[in-house]
């Protein structure tokens, strides 16, 4: 996974990039990570600038979303929407986290703040409790700084990187 360029970003945006990099580096088995806004837009990703050829080569070696962080963001947003609707119907309060366990991997989705979500795709070998713990740390550190202004800055940063990455 490549670290995105943080040149020109605010200290809060650089801090979120650093938190994401730490999450990926400290937790064995994490395949990809996406931070998604309440309206389903990708804000931050573990692979923001990889071109199509690099994604295809990586995906031949492992299973997971078909390549782009946008795919993971779409999945995370959909699961988040489904669980929020479920929570409203069941009247048990807001959703804190969701896990989908599959034969060859897992997907973890955790609420950050005001509808934003953190999604982590882990391999079959990852320890679910370790992933959940580190996600909770990320959410605790990121939730209070993920303001509307910072979400706009992160989104604009991803859009600015898109033409250079071949998307």
Q: pLDDT tens for residues 107-164?
A: 999 999 878 999 999 999 999 999 999 999 999 988 888 888 888 888 888 877 665 4
Count how many domains the chain has: 1
Residue-range definition of the domain harbouring residue 32: 11-165
Please indicate, yes or no, if residue 147 is contained in any of the structural domains: yes
Q: What is the CATH number of the domain that holds 108?
A: 3.30.450.30
Please indicate, yes or no, if residue 4 is contained in any of the structural domains: no
Distance CA 112, CA 35 (A): 9
Do 65 and 104 contact (CB within 8 A), yes or no? Answer: no
Distance CA 145, CA 4 (A): 19
Please indicate, yes or no, if residue 3 is contained in any of the structural domains: no
Please indicate, yes or no, if residue 1 is contained in any of the structural domains: no
Identify the pLDDT of residue 156.
85
Phi-psi group of 120: left, alpha or beta (phi > 0 → left; psi -120 to 50 → alpha; rest → beta): beta
> Environment class of residue 90 by beta-carbon count within 10 Å: exposed (0-12), middle (13-18) or buried (19+)?
exposed
Identify the pLDDT of residue 166.
46
pLDDT digit string, tens, across residues 60-110: 554 555 557 788 999 999 999 999 999 999 998 988 899 999 999 999 999
Please indicate, yes or no, if residue 159 is contained in any of the structural domains: yes
Q: Is pLDDT above 80 for 25?
A: yes
Please indicate, yes or no, if residue 157 is contained in any of the structural domains: yes
């Amino acid at each position: 996974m490549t670290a995105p360029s943080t040149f020109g970003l605010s200290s809060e945006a650089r801090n979120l990039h650093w938190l994401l990099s730490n999450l990926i580096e400290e937790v064995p088995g994490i395949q990809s990570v996406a931070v998604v806004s309440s309206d389903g837009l990708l804000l931050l990703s573990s692979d923001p600038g990889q071109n199509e050829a690099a994604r295809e080569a990586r995906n031949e070696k492992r299973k997971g979303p078909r390549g782009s962080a946008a795919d993971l963001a779409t999945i995370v947003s959909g699961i988040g929407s489904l669980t929020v609707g479920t929570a409203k119907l069941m009247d048990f309060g807001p959703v804190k986290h969701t896990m989908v366990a599959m034969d060859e991997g897992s997907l973890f989705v955790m609420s950050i703040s005001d509808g934003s979500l953190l999604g982590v795709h882990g391999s079959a070998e990852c320890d679910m409790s370790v992933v959940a713990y580190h996600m909770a740390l990320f959410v605790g550190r990121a939730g209070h700084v993920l303001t509307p202004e910072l979400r706009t800055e992160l989104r604009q940063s991803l859009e600015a990187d898109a033409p250079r990455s071949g998307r």
